[in-house]
Chains A and B, each alone.
Chain A
Amino acid sequence: MESSALPDLLQRVLPEARVGVTQSSDLHPTVSIDRRDVGAVMPVLRDHAELACAVLAELTAVDFWPREPRFEIVYLLLSVQHRLRLRVKVPVPGDDPHVPTVSPVWPAAIWLEREVWDLFGIGFDNHPDLRRLLMPDDWQGHPLRKDYPVQVRMAARTSEPLQVSEQEFRANLERDRRARR
């Protein structure tokens, strides 16, 4: 697929969508879309017969601090059927960082979005279970942000295991289970 064909196709299927063309060094067709259009564009990318991107290969974010819009969510899609890779970028402003979730389209996104929330602090609207994934639950801040303080000398901390009674443990499990459903 030519790199200009993808935005044309999207514009044809979704005349309302705000689609921008961007260049990439690795020659994967790349589009930039507005975050308000994520919910409309992503199902098209998965279901359109010419694209059929059944696999969300990667979902990540890049922090361009201090530039604005500060964040960029990057979706790398893979079409096994057409041997095609697409990259979709969604700019996200730093003062209001959130985008719609794509987990109903690709379940793989559930953990990948949790990871982005954990490390960048970008929220995903209507995500089924938006909790930290890698860092401890009581961690302060989002470490992969560029303004996160590193190489700062801090006193050593130990994490005390949470002390709960058996009833509280069961209640917590029940709450988590309800959250997952």
Chain B
Amino acid sequence: MPDIRTETMTVNMGPQHPSTHGVLRLVLELDGETVVSVAPTIGYLHTGIEKTIEQKKWQQAVPLVERMDYLSAQSNALAFCLSVERLLGLELPERVRWIRILVAELQRINSHLVWLGTHGMELGAVSVLMYCFRERELLLNINEMLAGFRMFPSYLRIGGLREDLPRGFHEAVSAFLDRFPSKLDEYEDLLTENEIYTERTRGVGRLSAEDALAYGLVGPIARASGVAYDVRKAFPYLGYETVDFAVASRTEGDVYARYLVRIEEMRQSVAVCRQVLARITPSGAWAVGDPRITPPPKDRVYTEMEALIQHFLIYSQGITVPAGEAYVPVEGPRGEQGFSVVSDGTNRPWRVKARSPSLLACQALEKMIVGGLIADVIAVIGSIDVVMGDVDR
């Protein structure tokens, strides 16, 4: 048989491709169906939020950071608020901490549901998307109830929360928590033992624990590779050390392991939510009592001169944060999420840098894709759960 002359083919995937979760562009070099090299190109969604924040007051930065990773808005806000509160040296009331944990865990379920739905759909299981968005709708309703906004509630504030919990909140959350575990079983019925799904995900996109750490992927991706590291356990914040939950972890490091880890995380989040919901008292403080940080209640503003002055100062001049720098990360839905905050002692941030787990995941795509088949690229991109708003910021 004569030698067949072969050459590699270059395929451009994205930025407008339905399975790239936004505007990720991959230049793939193919040898037949095997991927020889991949070059991700990012920046199509760069909006300069970090630069914008430098022109804003501290509190005005919260809605901006929520829009970076648009599927986990409240985790972003939480990480930012914790870093600023560390600079301010604030001790939060217990009730605020439990409410924040509850909000953050509901946000994790919310984000994982979008991931599961889109990931399933990309691999051909279109009905999973409908199932997941059915439950996500309930979470968005809870957000709407909490703050009047479904995606970006801006409910967390520096020094606490914007206002007290609305009437009927406990009932709405416990109704969701009662309903959700059986729905999780439904998703698992659709995928976990589904041969089409397992054939497309088992052994695909493997990443070793060493590579996961070298590329900084601490989070669900590293946990699927056997690194049982969770910020909530290793560096507890908000009182997570008093909550009983397990860290989901697998050792296979493939797409299927990442799926199992995130499913287990949702179950653990439900357990965390149940525990903290029981601790949230019906009434109590929803912010620190510091008059330099928390605006006074409206009835006092209308009747007391000092309260009016405080109100005016907070809304015109804003909060003054002592000079220094702080980085207090949280365990976001995509891994360690934090804001490296630098203050020069004024009412505006000097520098805010978001640690973006999605950016690092995009960088490590090469490790997971090269050597595999082009059809598996879709499965791998789905499994690392990138949000392009978080990659480009």
Contact = CB atoms under 8 A, between A and B. Distances in A.
Partners in one complex: yes
Interface of A: 24-26, 28, 54-58, 60, 62-63, 74, 76, 78, 80, 83, 85, 87, 106-108, 110-112, 115, 119, 132-136, 143-144, 150-151, 170, 173, 176-177, 180
Given A135-B46, A170-B10, A108 B325 contact: no
Given A76-B327, A111-B359, 8 more contacts: A25-B87, A58-B355, A62-B350, A76-B340, A134-B43, A144-B50, A144-B51, A180-B39
A167 B87 CA distance: 56
B235 A133 contact: no
Contacts of A55: 213, 216, 218
Majority DSSP secondary structure for residues of B touching A:
mixed
A107 B214 contact: yes
Interface of B: 10, 27, 29, 37, 39, 42-43, 46, 48, 50-51, 55, 83, 86-87, 89, 210, 213-216, 218, 227, 229, 234-235, 322, 324-329, 336, 338, 340, 342, 350-351, 353, 355, 359-360, 362-363, 392-393
A134 B193 CA distance: 41
Contacts of A85: 235, 327
6 nearest A-B pairs in the assembled complex, by CB-CB distance: A25-B324, A108-B216, A26-B326, A60-B353, A134-B43, A134-B46
Contacts of B43: 132-136
A176 B37 CA distance: 11
A55 B87 CA distance: 24
Nearest to A25: B324
B351 A173 contact: no
Contacts, number: 107
B83 A26 contact: yes
Given A57-B355, A62-B342, A62-B351, A26 B328 contact: yes
B392 A173 contact: no
23 contacts: A24-B325, A25-B324, A54-B213, A57-B336, A57-B338, A57-B355, A62-B325, A62-B351, A76-B355, A80-B229, A85-B235, A87-B327, A106-B214, A108-B216, A119-B50, A133-B42, A133-B43, A134-B393, A135-B46, A151-B55, A170-B10, A176-B39, A180-B37
A80 B27 contact: no
